[in-house]
């Protein structure tokens, strides 16, 4: 009965945007097309990046190199830099890509890499591929560029009728998504973290600490990321873009696209402070071995692609399991940055257990005013009071720039620039986890995720500095319990005096009404 109720509820909530929002598991028609497997090159293959890293790898046996990319501008320049520094292979795996300036400039860099002989493999989740499907289908014609879509909603053989039928009959599977984010160059260096590809992720005007976070990785850990990428690329859920769309061989369209992309490149090239120039500078530094890295023991925590084909109740999460292992040995502190935080009762009990062991637990997530997904906030608020009363140090981010973000439905479009989107965890000031994993049921049971765990006090210190900045009264509310066990949101005003509010601050009437209406829906396991 509960499954039926949940099915009908999901239909009610998502029906309006379902055809464009989500994708079901690969159809039998798509699976009928055998795929030619391909794999990452060996790290022993000669490349400039590999040559530059060789001495450091030899001097730090069993370790990998890292550099935290704190801002959107740094993260974007690093991506362009890696693409331009690659000599043999580029692998890109993302949940979503938008048809906008930063994505198109990056795609032009990818085309230029392919033209100089670099093999490019681009893997996108099927949820938003319609936004860029035509562009990708044209780029797929280029030599050395190969594009696949993971877990597509339907193939071009299914037609509109097939899409509608799958939407109404396979509602339980619509939430299964590939949430992984990684860019890998020559199997030597990679970028992993919370950012997808789109202007919102690289907005320079919102370079607030922990708005989002990526990390540059080098050395042996990159090979493990490549192994994970190969698993997804060669999985039956990954279908060539041509299976989704009838290939368009119109030479005029291809020429027009190339002219448009080249013009955008030339325009960016002429601007001294453009992201392209910064990316080229970063590429030169990579080629000159002039990018400082912190070397540490690390590992990759990645879901297998088969997660989307299993029942959610049977799924296990490598990032969550490893985080629990670290916390079972923790001695004094756990810090969590999770934009979508739905601990459920099991998580509440676990966190209270940490407090009872004497650990300090500090968490920051989005406030109702800052979140871009009110429906997820409803799952979080049910447990907030118990956590605060037990002694958890809880913070909620204020809207960045004071502007409440637009709402999106379970992952549609990019997160608003006013919201927190980073996912990072710190244990005892020495162990960190950075990647795509949120502390919520969706990351644990439905989405596939990938994260790095790094055992480095130096990197932990950088992240703790960012945590202290984002949880300052200027950027966040401190949520506490008063003498009547009610909740109070504390912050400082312009005169540095403590201001207390007893309702969700700055949320507004409509957003508060949405929250109360959505809170009655029995969909917590899908949040």
Active site residues: 179, 181, 186, 421, 423, 428
* 506 closest CA partner among 476, 469, 484, 482: 476
Residue 468: Cβ within 10 Å count: 12
In angstroms, rounded to a whole number, what is the distance separating the alpha carbons of residues 96 and 411? 10
The count of other CB atoms within 10 Å of the CB of residue 424 is 26
Please list the helix, strand and coil fractions of the chain in percent, rounded to the nearest 5, in that order: 45, 20, 35
Radius of gyration of the chain (CA): 23
**How far is residue 500's CA from residue 488's CA, in Å, rounded to a whole number?**
6
> Judging by DSSP bridges, how do beta strands 89-94 and 119-125 pair with one another?
parallel
What is the secondary structure of 458-501 as a DSSP string? HHHHHHHHHHHHHTSTTTEEEEEE-TTS-EEEEEE-TTS-EEEE
- List 389's β-bridge partners, or say none: none
**387 half-sphere exposure, CB direction, 13 A CA radius:** 26
Query: CB–CB of 265/276 below 8 Å?
Result: yes
Which stretches of 105-178 are assigned E, i.e. beta strand?
A: 119-125, 145-150
Are 487 and 481 in contact, with CB atoms under 8 Å apart? Answer: yes
| Other CB atoms within 10 A of residue 141 CB | 14
Beta bridge partners of 299: 453
């Amino acid at each position: 009965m509960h499954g039926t109720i949940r099915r009908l509820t999901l239909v009610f909530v998502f029906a309006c945007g379902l055809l464009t929002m989500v994708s079901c598991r690969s159809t039998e028609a798509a699976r009928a097309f055998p795929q030619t497997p391909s794999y990452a090159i060996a790290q022993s293959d000669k490349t400039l990046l590999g040559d530059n890293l060789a001495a450091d790898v030899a001097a730090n046996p069993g370790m990998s190199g890292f550099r935290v990319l704190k801002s959107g501008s740094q993260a974007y320049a690093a991506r362009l830099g890696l693409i331009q520094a690659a000599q043999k292979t580029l692998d890109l795996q993302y949940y979503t890509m938008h048809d906008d300036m930063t994505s198109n400039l990056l795609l032009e860099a990818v085309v230029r890499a392919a033209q100089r002989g670099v093999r490019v493999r681009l893997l996108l989740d099927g949820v938003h591929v319609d936004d860029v499907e035509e562009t990708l289908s044209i780029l797929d014609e280029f030599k050395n560029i190969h594009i696949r879509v993971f877990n597509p909603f339907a193939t071009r053989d299914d037609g509109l009728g097939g899409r509608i039928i799958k939407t109404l009959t396979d509602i339980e599977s619509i939430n299964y998504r590939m949430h992984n984010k990684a860019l890998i160059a020559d199997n030597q260096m990679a970028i992993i973290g919370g950012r997808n590809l789109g202007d919102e992720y690289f907005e320079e005007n919102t370079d607030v600490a922990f708005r989002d976070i990526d990390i540059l990785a080098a050395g042996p850990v990159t090979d493990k990321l490549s192994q994970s990428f190969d698993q997804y690329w060669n999985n039956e859920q990954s279908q060539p873009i041509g299976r989704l769309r009838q290939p368009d061989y119109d030479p005029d369209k291809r020429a027009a696209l190339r002219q448009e992309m080249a013009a955008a490149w030339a325009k960016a090239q002429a601007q001294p402070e453009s992201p392209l120039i910064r990316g080229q500078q970063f590429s030169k530094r990579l080629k000159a071995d002039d990018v400082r890295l912190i070397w540490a023991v690390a590992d990759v925590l990645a879901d297998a692609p088969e997660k989307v084909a299993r029942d959610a109740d049977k799924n296990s999460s490598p990032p969550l399991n490893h985080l629990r292992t670290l916390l079972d040995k923790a001695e004094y502190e756990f810090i969590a940055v999770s934009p979508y935080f739905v601990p459920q009762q099991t998580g509440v009990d676990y966190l209270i257990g940490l407090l009872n062991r004497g650990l300090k637990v500090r968490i920051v997530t989005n406030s109702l005013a800052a979140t871009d997904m009110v429906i997820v906030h409803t799952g979080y608020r049910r447990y907030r009071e118990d956590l605060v009363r037990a002694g958890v140090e809880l913070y909620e981010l204020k809207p960045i720039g004071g502007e409440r973000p637009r709402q999106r439905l379970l992952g549609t479009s990019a997160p608003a620039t006013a919201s927190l989107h980073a996912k990072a965890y710190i244990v005892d000031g020495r162990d960190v986890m950075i990647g795509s994993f949120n502390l919520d049921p969706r990351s644990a049971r439905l989405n596939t995720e990938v994260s790095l765990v790094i055992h480095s006090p130096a990197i932990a210190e950088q992240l703790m500095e960012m945590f202290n900045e984002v949880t300052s009264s200027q950027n966040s509310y401190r949520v506490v319990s008063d003498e009547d066990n009610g909740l109070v949101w504390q912050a400082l005003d312009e005169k540095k005096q403590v201001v207390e509010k007893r309702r969700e601050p700055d949320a507004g009437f409509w957003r508060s009404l949405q929250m109360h209406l959505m809170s009655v829906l029995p969909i917590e396991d899908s949040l």
